[in-house]
Structures are given as structure tokens and as C-alpha cells.
A and B are shown apart, each in its own frame.
Chain A
């Protein structure tokens, strides 16, 4: 199991009263599921009725000096390694 930190955008940290979550998981998918267990309000905030990320939610995996967008991944089963960080952002475009 790898411990990873999940950081949240300010609008969620203020509303939820927490800045980040630390979870242990083998994969990105498991880490997100662990976060939903630790903070149940997070699931409806990030996911739509089908369980997919909402249209304007961006989930990034910082790993090995790279930042990977989950939209580039075919699934979330990617294995985590020590030092990985998951960053949730608002995918808002335009001014």
C-alpha cells in the first residue's frame, strides 16, 4: 500500500473544512475510493450520477516528475508509487 495525499481546490476545502486527505491505496482508483470513504461528501461533489468525474472536475496524478491527467487514461487502475500526489482542480475554461 502506498500513502498518497489528495489535495482539493479552495472552494472545496472551505466548504468541507479540510485541506487535503491522506489515504493508503495500491492504485489511483483505490485512492479515490478511500477518499470517498474518509469524506463521504466528496463523492457527489466530484462524480456525476454515473460515477464518472463531473465535466468540470480535473483529477491530476503527480508522479515521477510528471503530471498526468486522468482524462488521458483509459482507466484509473494505474499503480501508485511512493511520492505520488493526487490533485483535484476545477477544469474551468474561459475568463
Chain B
């Protein structure tokens, strides 16, 4: 089980540290800031993304999860681009490079552990860009997967793109996923992807929680198949994988219109057969809960630990791949992101 859980909320971050069976909590760190993402920086430390509707999006670097320095050159679009960077939705590391997926949708890369950032112009310059349409959460690039020179990125409500040349050029990867809002000209975008997760041993295997269902691909996104068996709805946000066991975890919600746990029963759904079928994990989870779990608010620590927080500020943890959950102490602001670090390899 992880020794530290990082929780980003709309009003600062909280760090849960475990000693035996006891958790202690530090925070709020960066009070007043939306904390939307955290990741390892590739240089032995961590990077964090924060934002404020007053002061914009910033990046912080820390040697630990509780001591942060605001960096002076966050990702930012050039004025002449016409795009505005409102928020950083995800931070992801590659080999010697760090990526930031942002709203207004685009991708930035840093080759100095977050000190400076460059726009990946091949994505924002994609031929379909003029037809990109925002989802309820904005026009955001919220997931980035990296395997060598291959990069996948997930944009709401546009879809998945892949680059096979380190970000120079991009191709849409949405075949097999029903398009939510069909564009007059570009028929291969308009699918509202909510989350993607890949098998690090075979990056062609990717799972996808979409606005219209759960999907998987075996060919890096060229073709997607629906894998809905056992899920109570097609709608949900987070999707994580315990790579050692291959178990997948999601938290379905009752429809895009209602966005609450079905019948108030907060449930994690688990698949132990690569998504062929799903089963509910109920032990320790409430039957009277009406808060959504947002797309970045779930993590697996790769040692059997599964963690998630909800929009009601409640944090839950399982040490046994979802067999049982416990609610951790504290009633936090709306939880945006959860990551697990420590003892195991973590996020």
C-alpha cells in the first residue's frame, strides 16, 4: 500500500501519510488554488499543477509532496495563437520529457523538469482544430500516455489522438466509438473521451472510459470495441489499472444528465479479465452517497492499493484491489485529483 496519497482539491492540496494503519493529513497546501495534477518530475522530485480563475495556471516543483516552489515560467500559449491556457489538467512523464495537457486544449512539453515549456504545435495545429468542441468540463486535454516516440492524448469533447513521431504529427484514434456530436466536415472527432489507461507492457492495449461507454483497443487506438458487460451505466469518469494484476477500476455514474452514483450506491467496478466483464466492489462503500468521482480522482499504486476521492470531498482507500474500502479521515473540498506514492512504484 502507498505510504503517501496526494489529493488535489478546488481549494488546495492535502497529503495523506501512512504509518502502519494510521493516516495523518497535511494541508491545505496552496490554499485558495485549484490543484489539478501532480506527477514525478523525472529528476527525483515532483511537479504540481495549480490554477486560479484570477491568476491563471501555474506549475510548482517540490522535492517532497508537501514543500512546493512556484515556477516562474508555466506553460502558456503565444499571444498570437489566439488560444488561452486556463488550466493544466494532467502532467505525464516520458523519457527526459514532461508533458502537460491543458485547457484550452493542447499539449506542452518540458525538457527541464518543468522549468520551461514549449507548445506541441502539431496537436493544436491539427487539421480538425477548428471543429474541436468543449465538453461540460471545458475544452481540455486531460490524459496523456507516452511510450517512446508514441504519444496518445485524450481531449474532451474531441477524442483520442496519437502521435508516432514524438508529437510532430497527430492522427485521430476514435474508430469504433460512437461520435457524440458529429461535425459537418470532420467525421472522426466529436467523441467525448473521459479517461484512458494503457498497459505499460504493451502500449497498444488501451482502455477508454468514454461519455458513451467503456471501450478497449488492441492496436493503439486504430479500432475500439465496447466492453460494457456488468457495468450499470455507460457513463463515468475515472479509469485506472493495477498493472501487476491487470485489474481495471472505474466508478460508473447514472447517465450524463444525472452524474451521481446509481441509486446512491457508491461503487467501484472492477474487471479482472481485461474488461471482458465488470463486477461491483461494495465492501466499505456507502449506499447513500450522491457525489460524482471526477476523471483524475482515482489512482492505483501498483501494489494492490486503489484510492479515490469524490466531489463531496470524501477519500476512500483499498489495500486489496478493491475487495474492501475504508473511508479515510477528513472532509475535504471537491476532490479533483488523487495520486499514490511511496513504498510501491506509485504514480
A residues lining the B interface (CB < 8 Å) = 10-12, 14-16, 40-41, 43-46, 48-50, 54, 56-57, 90-92
Most buried by B among A10, A45, A91: A45
Evaluate whether A54 and B55 lie within 8 angstroms (CB atoms) in the complex, with A41-B72, A44-B73, A49-B78 already known. yes
CB nearest neighbor in A for B28: A14
CB nearest neighbor in A for B81: A49
Contact (Cβ within 8 A) B53 A15: no
Q: Shortest CB–CB separation between residue B71 and chain A, in angstroms?
A: 7
Contact (Cβ within 8 A) B84 A49: yes
Contact with A along B69-83 (1 / 0, CB 8 A): 011111011110000
Indicate which residue in A44, A56, A92 contacts B58 across the interface (CB closer than 8 Å).
Answer: A44
CB contact list, B264-286 vs A, under 8 A = none
Contact (Cβ within 8 A) B32 A92: no
Bound-state Cα–Cα, A31 to B72, Å: 19
Q: In the complex, which residues of chain A have a beta carbon less than 8 angstroms from the beta carbon of B30?
A: 14-15
How many chain B residues touch A (CB < 8 A): the figure is 22
Evaluate whether A45 and B79 lie within 8 angstroms (CB atoms) in the complex, with A14-B30, A14-B32, A15-B33 already known. no
Contact (Cβ within 8 A) A44 B56: yes
Q: In the complex, which residues of chain B have a beta carbon less than 8 angstroms from the beta carbon of A12?
A: 55
User: Total A-B pairs in contact (CB under 8 Å)?
Assistant: 54
Q: In the complex, which residues of chain B have a beta carbon less than 8 angstroms from the beta carbon of A90?
A: 54
Bound-state Cα–Cα, A15 to B73, Å: 15
Q: Shortest CB–CB separation between residue B313 and chain A, in angstroms?
A: 20
Bound-state Cα–Cα, A24 to B56, Å: 27
Contact (Cβ within 8 A) B72 A54: no
Evaluate whether A92 and B54 lie within 8 angstroms (CB atoms) in the complex, with A11-B33, A14-B30, A15-B30 already known. yes
Indicate which residue in A14, A16, A54 contacts B31 across the interface (CB closer than 8 Å).
Answer: A14
Bound-state Cα–Cα, A40 to B115, Å: 12
CB nearest neighbor in B for A45: B55
Bound-state Cα–Cα, A16 to B70, Å: 6
- The interface residues of chain B, by DSSP majority, are classed as loop
B residues lining the A interface (CB < 8 Å) = 30-33, 50, 52-56, 58, 60, 70-74, 76-79, 84
Contact (Cβ within 8 A) A50 B54: no
Most buried by B among A16, A41, A46: A41
Bound-state Cα–Cα, A56 to B70, Å: 20
Bound-state Cα–Cα, A16 to B33, Å: 12
Contact (Cβ within 8 A) B71 A56: no
Contact (Cβ within 8 A) B77 A49: yes
Evaluate whether A40 and B72 lie within 8 angstroms (CB atoms) in the complex, with A14-B30, A15-B30, A46-B55 already known. yes
Q: In the complex, which residues of chain A have a beta carbon less than 8 angstroms from the beta carbon of B79?
A: 49-50
Contact (Cβ within 8 A) B54 A54: yes
Bound-state Cα–Cα, A1 to B72, Å: 27
Q: In the complex, which residues of chain B have a beta carbon less than 8 angstroms from the beta carbon of A46?
A: 55
Q: In the complex, which residues of chain B have a beta carbon less than 8 angstroms from the beta carbon of A44?
A: 56, 58, 72-74, 76
Q: Shortest CB–CB separation between residue A18 and chain B, in angstroms?
A: 11
Q: Shortest CB–CB separation between residue B70 and chain A, in angstroms?
A: 5
Evaluate whether A11 and B31 lie within 8 angstroms (CB atoms) in the complex, with A44-B72, A49-B77 already known. yes
Indicate which residue in B52, B54, B58, B77 contacts A41 across the interface (CB closer than 8 Å).
Answer: B58
Most buried by B among A44, A56, A90: A44
Bound-state Cα–Cα, A43 to B56, Å: 11
Given A41-B70, A45-B55, A54-B54, 8 additional A-B pairs, CB 8 A: A11-B54, A12-B55, A14-B30, A40-B73, A41-B72, A44-B73, A44-B76, A45-B56
Bound-state Cα–Cα, A49 to B79, Å: 5
Contact (Cβ within 8 A) B72 A57: no
Q: In the complex, which residues of chain A have a beta carbon less than 8 angstroms from the beta carbon of B78?
A: 49
Bound-state Cα–Cα, A59 to B52, Å: 17
CB nearest neighbor in B for A57: B54
